[in-house]
Chain A
């Protein structure tokens, strides 16, 4: 996917910048995105884009770099910060190709629940959604290896020495460990008592699920668990404000590691600035809540 900074900026200005200025800005943004760590910055920047706020630090940084590089000042109107930010983030994540910044940006989309028709730069977010999906599928795949003789040997005192530097052995053990984890967590979740407070129960179950995961990318098994957890949930929706109240008894106060964990932020931090925004009035069904929450917990676990 290509992004054309010139077109993106022109759409936001009364009079477009001169070509020379556009070329310079493009170079500054490209250099700056190369310097940035997508894991650290993508969520913060995309939050500002989706909340329609200008990141003033980024504005000052770009203006400062422009001054330093070309010995002339530039004043960037606030409304060009959205396209500039999206351009920088796009370049930053494609440079690295790591799954976690993509997942973080996808998580940020919870900020737009109920109004996806107003998400700016839809082509960028569609690209992120598709690429995250593809990465989750490809990265979580473990080759199936015949483990029957190995497991049989274990129970008949015929131990096989495994060379874990070999990929085949690694894959066999990963499959066994994953299945063991899955078996345990299924039983554990089945044992949890029914509760009147569905949202609190979902939080508790998902927290246990993610905490117990030996690897963050056991996605297929986790989704299967989420289906189990929410199978009784009705499709009606409640506001995030109501959800926060419902889960307050089971969520400890802590600070999230990533800005993209928007639900966890309002649930776990009473001082978070999202608490005073319109985000609290958005509505989610229990199933939607579970899925957003699962990926947020996953990302937080990865950054721990």
Chain B
């Protein structure tokens, strides 16, 4: 059995290698995900629906290239949930993917301590993570499901039509979060960001990932390493234009997702995400009045 390995390894650069179990990435790809899935690990397309119960999940797809901080963000959310027990008015109740969070959390911790880059979400790793909360004000249960895929996947999406079509959540989820590396945008790496992002946007648009009923947010992560750079504002603006040329953007955020203490902006963003889940599906006033048949009839008699 090859399960339950922490698959990240500390590396000096982006030279991704297979882990030390003797299996190559291709070997893992050929295994059925469900066969190597641990209880509590992240989930995939084959098994994610199994954890849905009475609560309709709010699915957030986190889109971003390697090293942009997607998994760090997820781990920081998990850290906040475990240490405080709640996010704003939402009390943490349960998770079906504790092990999946733990993997990301462990690697975030190593990254923080060693100050080294860790290749933590291999392309073959499962990606859906779920958290269940209770709104303390009204008792409503809300479930957030995060799609945290390897950044390499999004490179593949930009290149190959067939690959992006396998990502059903990207097409059907109502909430997409673009994760961007502000540090890179503020540097010469800005051109690489453009080069990577442009074909991805085109491919996502063609696939039907955007639409009127979707909430598209953009997060500029690692802002602490970019905000003082004079080129950042201009470059950021160009990146935003690139995205907005393809789809309307709901909100923009500037965060440092690695820092978990005294980080109000990050905490406010967590609250925002959960508020999105808790938004009741409101019928229009006209529809609600129409359904209220008793008062319609009373006005006629």
Chain A partners chain B: yes
Select one of A11, A16, A116, A291 contacting B283, CB under 8 A.
A116
23 contacts between A and B (CB under 8 A): A10-B172, A11-B56, A13-B52, A13-B172, A14-B52, A14-B59, A14-B128, A14-B169, A53-B54, A77-B50, A79-B52, A80-B52, A109-B291, A110-B294, A116-B283, A116-B289, A116-B291, A117-B280, A117-B282, A118-B281, A224-B301, A288-B294, A292-B294
Interface of A (DSSP majority class): helix
A32 interface contact, C-beta 8 A: no
A contact residues around B289 at 8 Å (CB): 116
A69 interface contact, C-beta 8 A: no
Chain A interface (Cβ within 8 Å of chain B)?
10-17, 52-54, 75, 77-80, 106, 109-110, 112, 116-120, 122, 125-126, 129, 132-133, 223-224, 226-227, 287-288, 291-292
CA distance A112 to B280 in the complex (A): 14
* Shortest 3 CB-CB contacts between residues of A and residues of B: A77-B52, A116-B288, A117-B288
Most B CB within 10 A of own CB, among A106, A117, A129, A292: A117
| Distance from B85 Cβ to chain A, minimum over Cβ atoms (Å) | 25
Chain B interface (Cβ within 8 Å of chain A)?
45, 48-50, 52-57, 59, 128, 145, 168-169, 172-173, 280-283, 285, 287-298, 301
| Distance from A107 Cβ to chain B, minimum over Cβ atoms (Å) | 10
Q: 17 new A-B pairs (CB below 8 Å) besides A109-B291, A129-B290?
A: A14-B52, A14-B145, A15-B48, A15-B49, A15-B169, A17-B49, A53-B54, A78-B54, A79-B55, A116-B288, A116-B289, A116-B292, A126-B291, A226-B301, A227-B301, A287-B298, A291-B294
CA distance A117 to B57 in the complex (A): 20
B contact residues around A223 at 8 Å (CB): 297, 301
Select one of B52, B54, B57, B296 contacting A52, CB under 8 A.
B54
- Given A223-B301, A292-B294, verify A14-B54 contact (CB < 8 Å): no
- Given A14-B145, A122-B291, verify A288-B172 contact (CB < 8 Å): no
CA distance A52 to B289 in the complex (A): 21
CA distance A254 to B239 in the complex (A): 69
Asked if B168 contacts A15 (CB within 8 A), the reply is: yes
- Given A16-B168, A291-B298, verify A77-B291 contact (CB < 8 Å): no
Asked if A126 contacts B290 (CB within 8 A), the reply is: yes
